[in-house]
Structure 1
Amino acid sequence: MGEFHSAVNRIPVLRRAAARLVDGGRLPAALFTDHEAAGHDRLHPRRWSGTIDLRMTLMTPLVLGEQDASPDGRQAGTVRLPRDTSGGVVVPPTMVKGMLSRAYEALTASRFRALQPRADRLTYRSDAADSLRLVPLRVTRVNEDGSLEAELLAGSSTQTVSHDGKRIPVMRAAAMQTGYKGSATLVLDGRGRRLTAMTHHGKQLRCHLALYVHGSGRYAFWHVTHLGVGEAEPEEAFTVGGESAIPKYMNEYDVTGYVYRTASDQDAEQPWLLYEKKRYERVFFTTEKEPLTVTITPEVARGYTIVANSYREQREEEERRQVRAGRTQRANRVTEKALAGKEAGHPGLAEGDLAYALLGEESYREDNTLIRGVAHKVVQLVPTMIGRRAYDFSPQDLGRAQGVLPLASRCEASAADRLFGYVVQDAPEGAVGGDVAARGRVAVGVVDTSQAQVTRGRGELLAPLLSPKPASARRFLTDSETGRTPADGGRPLPRPRLFFIPGQYLGLAAYPVHRGVLGRKGLPREATSVPPQEGLDVPADTVRLRVRDWLETGSVLTCRLRVDDVEPEELAALLWLLDPRNLVPASERTGQAVGFMRMGLGKPLGLGVVKVEVPEGGVRVHTGQALADGYRSLEGCLGVVPTTPPPTLSDGVLDVLDRRPWVRAMQRAAYGYTDGVPVRYMSLKENRANNQTEEGRPKKGRGQSPTPLADPPRPLSIENPARRQGRQVPGPPQRRGGYGGRGGHGGRRW
């Protein structure tokens, strides 16, 4: 689909780097350190107060207003411009304040003033290569502190076999066909119903196994051929044949194991209802005389619950959006259990439960086979071989180390908190004053819309504007020094699980200006059209928004800011932002170049671009000392004193800021790209191609992330995206189906 710039990017928040510059005397402490905000009980001599006039020119249509859902929930929601009692358009002053505070927050590398609470770790879709490392286990005890005792059911002692002149791994759990569908022939007396009755989830069985090479030739797996309950001699259940059998290992093992079903009990005879190609479940076993035992920490045990609840959240979201209408796809076992727990979610693993474990790196050789005789450490517990995994750290964990979490007490107030005000999200019991909230020092007056042009639409539908998925938060991560995408020696990180680790930072979401739509009248086609997605249905109206009217391009809005008792550096920084010439990357600066701020709905679609400036004579400010002197001399009647030139940031400070990654990123987002390459979302087809991996690493040219905004612009290009492939997961001979359960997961700040 060609080159493009990502419609969603991030601005790095390098607070520690800014603090080092403060310590070195290169940046002002008033803007780049945390400290308590001064009270409102007096005007300080060296602080500034007054008014600033704003002129806001719309460079693209502005869509705003309350979103009304359709009565039946099956149509697009609608948005209309808010009106006053006389029919005039109302632009809430809070929108203007939000626009200004976001820009100020980015400039000063302030704390996030709002952050979606995410104390739990996020989850991600695992790579198929990771499944070769998973080791089945059975929980034998739950301790009072939440830790678990378990035994590893690591399969056979045969970990690799020779095939086509190379060694291939042997899967650790045996495949058990669930009925007639599959590569084997069901020959058990009583057929399907008896098979189901004998193989309830968690049941202990005696089995005979035969070894086969998977159709891909990448690994071998044990296939259950005989089954027996209790002390009964196993009887033949399946006849398995074909060239993929390995004669040397045929029926070598008579093992005792445990049935592990990912399908719920009600779907035991029809696992394909879970997903179309599912035909098999698993038997966990070990040929060790004494299974290896491990102790699992409470945090790792908690990770299993997080993954289970992520399946529940996805299921509930899909039901809310009714995306499953007319489909038969069912929830897997762990999802059903999490749903049954309602608000509490999944109860966690109990004694006798089965799961898959990922062990520490020291437990594996390069070919992913287990090293015998070492002390194994479980680092993850998951319910399915290919499914979701939990990151090692939560956004809160990273944000706490980074120092960007919303303040918890008055002494933690950053520059944006002090200037625009704050509310402590989780104020402790008994907290008072600034430990609960503080009023800001910038007030936005009534927004004059008399010069605005309203366009009444025909009910145009915007392209889908879904809320950012928490699971996609890794796309907003940066490193801690340069603000660039976390990488492995300049290459994309080899596995998703290497995201959300110490040393990574949360970035501030940014929506680069689409310069190609600036100045156009009417809703641009880029904001309303849905590009065709090969093999996919057109998105339902339920995920779109119908716009009834909007403020047209070229409209002018005006308002007045009131600033009270602000530090000179704070006022200087605010005025710097209100000069649109400063919102331009250094490489793009000419006499006419200006940058923009964003407001309203549809920012990723290019809407809501606003040129914000101060008209001639629009700054009327004075210091507290000047006001006091005016009263003493009776020349400042009623506080009216002559305006004095406002403070400015020194050339030295501006030079330092001009080279900071977060300032360069803010400027690029405000100015956009001038290379003519479109700004858009990555298509689903491109995303699938971009996610392709080989042995756990992104394939060449894949694993691309949005180019850091602070770097020279470089478009993304996902060339020749491959068609969607079937799951390459353990399955029967000559098949490419999978055994694992199926499920998925799926803001402003990350």
Structure 2
Amino acid sequence: MTTGEEGFLNPYTFIPAFPRDALPDAFGDAPPPSRDRLRAGCLTGRIAVTLTVETPLLLLDTTRAVPASTGEKDHRVYPVRLRDGRPHLPATTVKGMLRAAYEAVTNSRFGVFEDHDTPFGFRREAGYALGMVPVYVAGEGTLFRLRSALFEMYDKESGENLYPDGDLHAPVHMERLRAVIKKTKNGEKVVDFAPADSSVTLTAERGEKVVSGIAYITGPNVERKRYERFLYLPPGDKPSPLPLAREWKALAENWESLIRNYRAAHDDDELRRRRTPDGLPAGPDRRVGDGPGRLAWSPHLHDENHLRLRRSAICYARLVDGGVDRLYPVLIPRDLYPVAPAELLGEGLAPAPSYERLSPADRVFGWVAPKGAGVRPSAYRGRLRVGPVTCEGTAAETVDRFEGDGLPLAILSRPKPQQGRFYLAESRQRPQRPIKDGTPKEELYAQGRGLRGRKVYWHHAGLDAGKHWRIPGAEDPAQAPAGGRHREYARSWKAPDDSGRLTRDRRRHETVPGAEQRDSQNRSINGWVRPGTVFRFTVEVRDLDEHELGALAWLLGLPEGHFHRLGFGRPLGFGSVRLAVDPTGTELHTGAEYAAYYRTLTGGLPATDGVKVLDEARRVFEKEAAASPALSTIRDAMLTVSRGDPALPVHYPRTRPDGFPPGVPAPPDPRGRNFEWFTVNEQDEKSPRIRTKRSLPGLDATTPPLRIYPKKALPEETIRKGANGPRRKGGNKR
């Protein structure tokens, strides 16, 4: 294996969800059966199930979490959830796992699909700025074009502000200034300035001019940023409004939607609850360190004056055939896709709109009408119940514990459905086919596309269980491989600085011994349920036909070496569990048998072989699935994911450090820079050995796996460098 050829599986993938109009009749929409009687040929009874833990199971008691004694104050340490001295697995957790799998295997409607009716945003490429010009909003529908000059604000080496508190005037965002402008080979540049209302005289030398304008200060929001911008109308020019390519109302509505999208990408803690290295509160416009989340935030992210286009506002206009087509807050902006995810789902897969149109999972597990549907009945209880779940062993026998502040877990990535390359299919009719590699980013969420389906997590196959789940005491658990794989579940120790340097043998990232990272991005655990632990529960079913029961039987009897996923931390490898039917506690009878029993009220129900009944129902389901292209594709996909691939490690995308030896697996970056892979993936790579703009591969093995990219210089804001900084004459005195 050479640099750039290291394959991996992303922790999540998708079970395809097909349009439901071509499914066999038994899997279509219908009202649930009446509860007033049992149907003669349908089955009612109890299925006993054993659940065996394959990889450590995280059953965390969120109500008893406590702050860690070290690290940030928002960090929490979670104990194992216990009841009566045994690990407690709630029946609702098991039912949720079964429901999700049942929805997938029967290609049912989504039980929940909320908050997906707003288009996602995406970052435009730097070249998009070539069609942008700064404008001044003189009134509703009236935009005047401005000229732009570079304004040196930050030291090019340290990034420090050139105008700290002191006797130099520090311009602020939207402040009116007078400035001396000089032409350079890279454009115009401010060489001197003063507040517009000051009495300071500015002198223009040969080739320079004095103009009046506005400082457009977005703050130190980019590493090694050097310039802000000064916007002005050329003296003597008579401004004329720019023509509009779209109605003003549409431009204004799009602006507000875009700003809301910008803000939705960040929570309040990121913007307003930051602290300086000294522990003091810091506003969103202040830089508190290096790296993501520590730079300053641009004004449009936190200043309420930017939410709507107001008179005297400054922004950037995108010109199409000379007319204004879009307005943006910055030169290289985010933008909104033309369609929302809900538009790509399709009516047949959306949550059931009424009682008469329930899909198989709704009829078996229950249904609640979508919020605001206003229909009656508005809910259905379902015909399946998971009984209490009991653990066979005590906590002393089944729980591995971590003393003190526990084990810091790796950072779990947030869902990023705006990453269309991972979430979208080429079409709604073929959800198993990802978007073609190389598709431009702006063409991802578009009419005609489809969603990939239901998110599921790979079983982490090929682990050396004896080493992988054992924490070494004297070395960084995330940097030290175990049986050829890294412990993706453990958080690396802290890096000594932000350089990302490697150890002397260049096989790991250098970290500070024992410096565990505990902050608001991750959590710690006091223990887990160890592999081999057995839980038992029953599934009570009522009046299920052979197709409904057959799908459940298939899920309860996956082939050997296939696992369901349960509990917290599934992307990190936790929670692979094996289900099996226990014949001794399984009893199933038909409605006709129950009717005969109730007619006589003597004797009992006839003895039946519950496992045989389940096997017959499973064969009915498998026959229907084999005859349906959609259901057979889904079945094969579920088997692939639940089996895993022992040849490939499972982890979030990351880049390979410079100078790493060929053939050595790349470890996780202790600085937490998974975003670098996605940044590289959007670049146009000319090397024939490195494919970029990759989509999440499908499950049919027709496309190569994702690769760890070699680390490369990441693109930054395009900055035109001028010749010299401002002269800072006496005119800059306060």
TM-score clears 0.5: yes
Query: How far off is 1:94 after superposition?
Result: 0.9
Q: CA offsets, 1:53-92, max 9 Å, x none?
A: 11111111111123355448626322222222x3232211
The answer to whether the aligner puts 1:9 opposite 2:5 as a matched pair is no
Secondary structure in structure 1 of the residue aligned to 2:231: strand
Q: Which residue of 1 aligns with 2:423?
A: 476
**Which among 574, 578, 586 is matched to residue 556 of structure 2?**
578
Q: Which residue of 1 aligns with 2:282?
A: none
Q: Distance in 2 between matches of 1:403 and 1:234?
A: 70
**Which among 260, 268, 272 is matched to residue 316 of structure 1?**
268
Label 1:532 to 1:491 Cα distance change in 2 as closer, same or farther (>3 A). farther
The answer to whether the aligner puts 1:732 opposite 2:692 as a matched pair is no
The answer to whether the aligner puts 1:569 opposite 2:536 as a matched pair is no
The answer to whether the aligner puts 1:505 opposite 2:450 as a matched pair is yes
Contact 1:463 1:528 in 2 (8 A): yes
Q: Which residue of 2 aligns with 1:440?
A: 382
Q: Which residue of 2 aligns with 1:104?
A: 102
- Identity rate of aligned residues, in percent? 24
Query: How far off is 1:656 after superposition?
Result: 3.4
The answer to whether the aligner puts 1:544 opposite 2:518 as a matched pair is no
Contact 2:18 2:431 in 1 (8 A): no
Moved more, 45-54 or 661-670: 661-670
Label 1:209 to 1:665 Cα distance change in 2 as closer, same or farther (>3 A). farther
| One-letter code aligned to 1:390 | L
Query: How far off is 1:603 after superposition?
Result: 0.5
Q: CA offsets, 1:626-680, max 9 Å, x none?
A: 32234346677479878673422253532535875443332221110132x2111
Q: Distance in 2 between matches of 1:223 and 1:519?
A: 62
Contact 1:519 1:553 in 2 (8 A): no
Q: CA offsets, 1:397-424, max 9 Å, x none?
A: 333x464443343234322222211223
Q: Distance in 1 between matches of 2:723 and 2:674?
A: 29
Q: Which residue of 1 aligns with 2:216?
A: 261
**Which among 309, 317, 322 is matched to residue 357 of structure 1?**
317
Q: Which residue of 2 aligns with 1:335?
A: 301
Contact 1:478 1:486 in 2 (8 A): yes
Q: CA offsets, 1:114-141, max 9 Å, x none?
A: 3352443322333222222323334454
Secondary structure in structure 2 of the residue aligned to 1:389: strand
Q: CA offsets, 1:698-749, max 9 Å, x none?
A: 9852222332234347332234211445x2413333799xxxxxxxxxxxxx
Secondary structure in structure 2 of the residue aligned to 1:309: helix
Label 1:139 to 1:409 Cα distance change in 2 as closer, same or farther (>3 A). farther
| One-letter code aligned to 2:21 | A
Alignment of 1:711-722 (within 5 A): 711-712=701-702, 714-722=704-712
Q: Distance in 2 between matches of 1:698 and 1:510?
A: 33
Contact 1:129 1:696 in 2 (8 A): no
Q: Which residue of 2 aligns with 1:586?
A: none
**Which among 551, 561, 568 is matched to residue 601 of structure 1?**
568
| One-letter code aligned to 2:225 | K
Label 1:108 to 1:235 Cα distance change in 2 as closer, same or farther (>3 A). farther
Q: Which residue of 1 aligns with 2:243?
A: 293
Q: Which residue of 1 aligns with 2:641?
A: 669
Q: Which residue of 2 aligns with 1:30?
A: 26
Query: How far off is 1:336 after superposition?
Result: 3.0
Label 1:728 to 1:609 Cα distance change in 2 as closer, same or farther (>3 A). same
Alignment of 1:26-425 (within 5 A): 28-31=24-27, 33-67=28-62, 68-71=64-67, 74=73, 76-84=75-83, 86-142=84-140, 149-151=141-143, 153=145, 173-177=147-151, 196=171, 201=174, 203=176, 211-214=183-186, 221-224=187-190, 259=214, 261-263=216-218, 271-272=219-220, 276-283=224-231, 290-294=240-244, 295-296=246-247, 298=249, 300-313=251-264, 314=266, 316-318=268-270, 322=274, 325=277, 327=288, 329-338=295-304, 347-359=307-319, 363=320, 371-372=321-322, 376=323, 378=325, 380-399=326-345, 401=346, 403-425=348-370
Q: Which residue of 2 aligns with 1:747?
A: none
Q: Distance in 1 between matches of 2:673 and 2:215?
A: 34
Unaligned stretches of 5+ residues in structure 2: 158-165, 279-287, 290-294, 471-486, 501-510, 655-671, 726-734
How many pairs does the alignment contain?
A: 629
Q: CA offsets, 1:442-484, max 9 Å, x none?
A: 1001112024722223322222224324644663222323325
**Which among 659, 678, 690 is matched to residue 649 of structure 2?**
678
Q: Distance in 2 between matches of 1:66 and 1:296?
A: 54
Contact 1:59 1:611 in 2 (8 A): yes
Q: Which residue of 2 aligns with 1:523?
A: 469
Q: CA offsets, 1:302-331, max 9 Å, x none?
A: 343344334445262425885865516433
Instruction: Indicate the structure with greater helix content.
Output: 1
Q: Distance in 2 between matches of 1:732 and 1:236?
A: 24
Q: Distance in 2 between matches of 1:653 and 1:680?
A: 32
Label 1:709 to 1:729 Cα distance change in 2 as closer, same or farther (>3 A). same
| One-letter code aligned to 2:366 | G
Contact 2:109 2:351 in 1 (8 A): yes
Q: Distance in 2 between matches of 1:42 and 1:93?
A: 27
| One-letter code aligned to 1:350 | R
Q: Which residue of 2 aligns with 1:465?
A: 412
Contact 1:14 1:483 in 2 (8 A): yes
Secondary structure in structure 1 of the residue aligned to 2:308: coil
| One-letter code aligned to 1:293 | P
| One-letter code aligned to 1:302 | E
Contact 2:137 2:310 in 1 (8 A): yes
Q: CA offsets, 1:567-604, max 9 Å, x none?
A: 321111111121211xxxxxxxxxxx431100011111
Contact 1:122 1:471 in 2 (8 A): yes
Alignment of 1:643-662 (within 5 A): 645=613, 646-647=616-617, 648-651=620-623, 653-656=625-628, 660-662=632-634
TM-score, with normalisation over the residues of structure 1?
A: 0.73
Contact 1:448 1:558 in 2 (8 A): yes
Q: Distance in 2 between matches of 1:323 and 1:36?
A: 56
Label 1:482 to 1:48 Cα distance change in 2 as closer, same or farther (>3 A). same
Contact 2:653 2:677 in 1 (8 A): no
Contact 2:683 2:692 in 1 (8 A): no
Label 1:634 to 1:715 Cα distance change in 2 as closer, same or farther (>3 A). same
Unaligned stretches of 5+ residues in structure 1: 23-27, 143-148, 156-172, 184-190, 215-220, 241-249, 264-270, 341-345, 364-370, 582-592, 737-750
Q: Which residue of 2 aligns with 1:584?
A: none
Contact 1:418 1:440 in 2 (8 A): yes
Q: Distance in 1 between matches of 2:724 and 2:222?
A: 17
Q: CA offsets, 1:336-360, max 9 Å, x none?
A: 314x8xxxxx64112332222335x
Moved more, 605-614 or 621-630: 621-630
Contact 1:307 1:389 in 2 (8 A): yes
Q: Distance in 2 between matches of 1:106 and 1:297?
A: 45
Q: Distance in 2 between matches of 1:377 and 1:45?
A: 69
Q: Distance in 1 between matches of 2:203 and 2:107?
A: 65
Q: Distance in 2 between matches of 1:139 and 1:636?
A: 87
Contact 2:105 2:631 in 1 (8 A): no
Label 1:279 to 1:460 Cα distance change in 2 as closer, same or farther (>3 A). same
